[in-house]
Amino acid sequence: MTLRDCESCLVYGTDNRPLAKARVELTERNQILLYFRYEKLRSIRIKTYIDFYDGQYGVVRCFCELVIQKNRQPNRISEPWMADCSIITVQDAFQRQKDLRIKTNIHEEFVSNKGTYFSGTIGNISAGGLFLLTGQVLKRNEHFTFRHRFSGDLFQVEARVVRVGPLVKGEYSYGCQFVNLNMDAEAAIRKFVFTKQKEKLNSKTRRIAEE
């Protein structure tokens, strides 16, 4: 597996307890380097678990081999230790089965598989699907497509109605699941959701600090 948008991780000790946080650097040759502020380390080669916080995949738990050594690069004062990391196996990708969902207010034009054009609003979205509000009557298992710019790139996305909900402010509501979603589109939606969630948390933190 190749990490796509990862800047930090949590390294576990051989006792499976959290050991230290680390900054992640991904090189052009797909090499994974970790940098530690934690001083109580030693030069050693170990195999252990790591939680990588990836902007596109979510939290990825991997079993890895680490070669820990003294940091001899310019950042050695603030980060005295570094490690060359190799992923052996991917154990889990959190939010894959139960994806992080954020509230949105995205207005788009949709096209049903019958060729009908209609407008609607995406009330929330995750990497697995969306909640749609529209004046259009749709049936369960009916498919539709739309185009939207996620994380900078424009994608055409297909979804199907899996749940018909109640009227919401005079509009029909539908729980929808993405279908035939390619890896690039999924990664872009996952990054979009992750970024919006971070913005929400940062805004909440600033508000609490100002009170």
Query: The domain that contains 121 carries what CATH number?
Result: 2.40.10.220
Residue type, 91: Q
Residue type, 10: L
Using 50, 70 and 90 to split pLDDT, how confident is the model at 128? confident
Domain boundary among 37, 62, 93: 93
Q: Does 125 share its domain with 170?
A: yes
Q: Does 87 share its domain with 129?
A: no
pLDDT tens per residue, range 21-79: 999 999 878 899 999 999 999 999 999 999 888 876 777 889 999 999 999 888 888 99
Partner residues linked to 4 by β-bridges = none
* pTM across the whole model: 0.53
Rounded alpha-carbon distances, angstroms, from residue 165 to 37, 152, 159: 50, 31, 16
Residue 1 placed within a domain: no
Determine the distance from the C-alpha atom of residue 181 to the mean position of all C-alpha atoms in its chain, rounded to a whole number: 15
Kindly report the backbone phi and psi dihedral angles of residue 57, in degrees, each rounded to the nearest multiple of 5, phi listed first: -95, -20
Residue 54 placed within a domain: yes
Quote the number of domains for the chain: 2
**CA 135 – CA 90 distance, rounded (Å):** 43
State the residue range of the domain holding 23: 6-93
